[in-house]
Amino acid sequence: MSKDKQKHQQRQQKIKENVDAKVEQAQIERGLLLVITGNGKGKSTGGFGNVTRAVGHGFKAVVAQFIKGGWDCGERELLSQHGVEFATMATGFTWETQNRDLDRQAAEEVWQRCKQWLTDPSIYLVLLDELTYMLSYDYLDVDEVVEAIAQRPREQTVVVTGRACHRKLLEIADTISEVKSQRHAFENGIKARKGIDW
Ligand code: ATP
Ligand code: MG
């Protein structure tokens, strides 16, 4: 065997040992709190990726969309055909908010449904899409949200998406991913695309 090949093999062996040791150390089995945050594209698509994964294994998943609904959202079209329940803000919050009272009320309605989900052990995965904005705009009480998530059934996983996630939510998260934007087509005048951006 060449020296290079031998070196490569030794390196791979070392990596394998490290990974095996970590796999052996991971003994805790419970649901997670995942936060997908940052300014780049991929947070909601990532969250929905987790929903399809769970549904594909036959688990029950639900989705809350903390943005104004009503437009044709590809994920909703598909996943509602597979028994995924959605709670979407019927009125209120868009990106350019105009009526705080209406927004707050709409957020609260969706949140009431979420609170029920967060006590239901038959639900394997709860996606709280764009929840972070409800906390930064102070539409929902952060302590109440943190408590409901922290008290959820042991086997239930929660995925939170949105920019600038509140510190208190990050503190109880198991996995935090920050999607960094290196470039976005929008900055070069390219329109948002059906099936790609929604
Ligand atoms: P996606 O839903 O595509 O995964 P996202 O959830 O990471 O995006 P949001 O901020 O929720 O990001 O995006 C709302 C809309 O803005 C989407 O249509 C998305 O494609 C677009 N978008 C995401 N990141 C950027 C960016 N850096 N600049 C401009 N538009 C963006
Ligand atoms: Mg999003």
Residue pLDDT, tens place only, 105-157 = 889 999 999 999 999 999 999 999 999 999 999 999 999 999 999 999 999 99
**For residue 152, how far is its CA from the centre of ligand 2 (angstroms)?**
23
Q: Whose CA is nearest to atom 13 of ligand 1?
A: 41
- Atom 31 in ligand 1: which residue has the minimum CA distance? 41
Rounded to whole angstroms, the Cα distance separating 198 from 194 reads 6
Residue 192 clears pLDDT 80, i.e. is over it: yes
> What is the number of domains present in the chain?
1
| pLDDT score recorded for residue 96 | 57
Residue 24 domain-assigned (yes or no)? no
Domain of 164?
30-180
- Assigned domain for 1 exists: no
Q: Give the CATH number, domain containing residue 176.
A: 3.40.50.300
Whether residue 20 is contained in a domain is answered as no
Band of pLDDT at residue 2, cut at 50, 70 and 90 = confident
Ligand 1 site-directed mutation target among 41, 66, 95, 183, most atoms within 8 Å of CB: 41
**Residue 191 covered by a domain:** no
- Does the residue 194 lie in any domain? no
Q: Is residue 163 part of a domain?
A: yes
User: Please, which pLDDT band fits residue 72 given cuts at 50, 70 and 90?
Assistant: confident
Q: Considering the domain boundaries, does residue 6 fall inside one?
A: no
What gap in Å lies between CA 13 and CA 26, rounded to an integer? 20
Assigned domain for 77 exists: yes
CA of 12 to the centre of ligand 2 (A): 38
